[in-house]
Amino acid sequence: MIDHEFISLEAFISSAESFVKISDRIHDDWKFHRDYDKQSYYIKKDTFIKHADELFKAEFNIFYNLSYGVPSFSFNIWESSGSLLSLEDIRRMSLIEIKEKDFYSVITQQEHPVFGRPYFVMHPCQTLELLASLPDSKNIIVTFLSLITPLINLKLPLEYGLL
Q: What is the DSSP string of 75-87?
A: EEEE-TTSPBPPH
The one catalytic residue in 125, 135, 136, 162 is: 125
Of the candidates 143, 111, 125, the residue with the CA atom closest to the CA atom of residue 1: 143
Can 125 be counted among the known catalytic residues? yes
Contact by Cβ (8 Å): 67, 125: no
Cα(72)–Cα(125) distance, integer angstroms:
10
Residues belonging to the active site: 125
